[in-house]
Structure formats: C-alpha cells, structure tokens
Amino acid sequence: MAVTLKPLAEQVVVITGASSGIGRATAVMAAERGATVVIAARGVDALEALAAEIAQDGGRAVVIPCDVSDPDAVARLASDAVARCGRIDTWVNNAGVAIAARLEALPLADARRLFDVNFWGVVNGSLAALPYLDRQGGALINLGSFTSDVAAPYMGMYSASKAAIKGYTDALRIELMMDRRPVSVTLIKPAPIATPVLQHQLNLLDHQATMPPPFYRPDDVARTILYAAEHPVRDLFVGGAARFGSVFGQMLPGLADAGAALFARQIFKTSKPPTERPDNLYRPGMPAVVRGDTHGHVARRSVYTALRTRPGTSMAVAGAVLALGLLGFARRA
C-alpha cells in the first residue's frame, strides 16, 4: 500500500524528548510551519516555557509530561494527544540519554536505565502510536545514530542502544509492509550534533567527554525529521560525516576499529577534568536549550543534509554538474 502523508501545516505531531536539543528544535520548526505540536518530556517547566515560546510566535503546542521508559505513561501520552488534538499524524521517538564510560566500569543499573530510555522508549512510543497512525495513515520517526553502524569507544552502551533501535525499526517497517498498513517508518541517523548532550550525559571518565568533530546544527536534524513527516523514506543520515563514517565502517571495519582505538583518547576526551554538574539519566536535565557546548568546535550547517532533504536542489546541482561535464566533453571534442 502506498503511504500518503499530509502537508506539515495540516498535521498533529507528537515529539518526545522535546524539552531540549533536537526535540526542542523540531517542535519550534514544526510549529513555525503550521503543525500542531504535542511536546513531551520529563521536565514540566521546560515544556511550559517551550509552549509559551511557540504560542508567542503564533503556533500551537500541547504540553503532556511523560517519561518514555514507562509504557503506561507513553500510552497515556498517545491517548491524551488524540483527546486534545483529534488525531496523530506524525510521532517522533526522540527522547534519549547518554553515558560516557568504559563498558567494564559502567554500573549495570545505569546501563539498564539508558536502555530503558533509549531503546524501550522507542518501543513504547511505537506501540502506543501505531493504533492511532493506522486510522488515517501517518509517519513514525525514530531517532537513531550513525553509531549504530560504527560503534564509538566510551559510548559503547549508547552505541548498543542505537543499534538495537535500528534493528527494531527495520523489522517493524517490514511487518507493517507485510500487513499493507498506511504508516511510513523512518530511521534518522545523525552525526555528532551540537545539542546539550555533552552537558546532560553521565560522565564516568577521568576527563570531560566529547565527540569527534564535525558537529552539525540541531536545525539540520529537525529539518530532516520534518522532511520524513511529509515524505515516506526508509532512513536518513544527518551530516555528510555520518554517511561517510557508516560506509567506511561497513566497507573497512577492521581499519575503522584500529583507527578508533588509536585516536580514542584524543577525539572522545578533552584535556579538562570532568565538570561537576547534574546529569539527566534519572531526572530532567538543565538547561533546557537547543544548543550545547562543543568544546571549541564550530557547529556547521550540513550541505549533504540540505541536498538530501530538498530534492529540487539536488536535481539542480546534479543538472549543473552534468551540464559542466557535457560542456567540458564538447570542448575536448
């Protein structure tokens, strides 16, 4: 069955993890484009502030606090969203947490909590959303990571959770296709993004944790998510570095592992001691902002993502390249 998705301005979009980072950027951008957004997270104050910001700009945001690790709470999120907005057209499973630690030094309770939020949060959200998306068709969008294709040292449990999300999302997509259900299922795989993730994560290392550059802007991820809300697409990378890293890791996995092992201490840790700040593993994180510290690296806009999510632009660029090639061939002839 062909899946048809509504224009964003006609949609009700549910976004988990909406209080900061990618979720917050996506909520603001969706509301600017005319969507009604249902924003969910654990931090009520941050959600209320975001809703007020959206309302001030003429948009509509409905606040429903929710811990995605609780399946009953996520089921209530879905039913309350429909009760207050009439339907759900797009559901974005975005909530996530991170831990910087060597795997052997990571307490199992913390590891399980990460999986409860990252992986089981996606499962809970998918199962809650599907009955409503089935009614008129819609999009289910899960936030993964390029680390599902290329594991990152000191982020091993995070990488494992994203690999689990990838496996679940791909299998769920196939099962929905088998039943010819009118739901598009998309996996988004971002490169390092300049969100507050480095400030929010639990850091058990002897130095402040970081991620290898380049960092990309949260708006790039938001734009990609909203593209998937209107266009049925299997998966999308955010940032050319994510696409390159995935291909490189799959084609030359031994070399990728050796390189990561050789440079891990330089690119995944800074020279600074760990910063004393509360993490968001078990409680809402602060501050509730879109962007975070990138340790001196400038967050860039992704040309790859812009081309991938704007087919008209991609065709124009391809046409220009083809025209230049033909011109060069004609001159040589």
Q: Which entry of 132, 158, 168, 304 is annotated as an active-site residue?
A: 158
- 216 part of the active site: no
What is the architecture of the domain spanning 8-301? 3-Layer(aba) Sandwich (3.40)
Asked whether the beta carbons of 223 and 29 are under 8 A apart, the reply is yes
Residues 6+ apart with CB under 8 A from 186: 139, 140, 141, 142, 228, 232, 233, 234, 235, 236
Mean pLDDT of the chain: 91
pLDDT tens-digit readout, 224-282: 999 999 999 999 999 999 998 899 888 999 998 999 899 888 889 998 988 888 899 99
Q: What is the pLDDT of residues 153-179, one digit of tens each?
A: 999 999 999 999 999 999 999 999 999
CATH 3.40.50.720 boundaries in the chain:
8-301
Percent of the chain with pLDDT over 70: 93
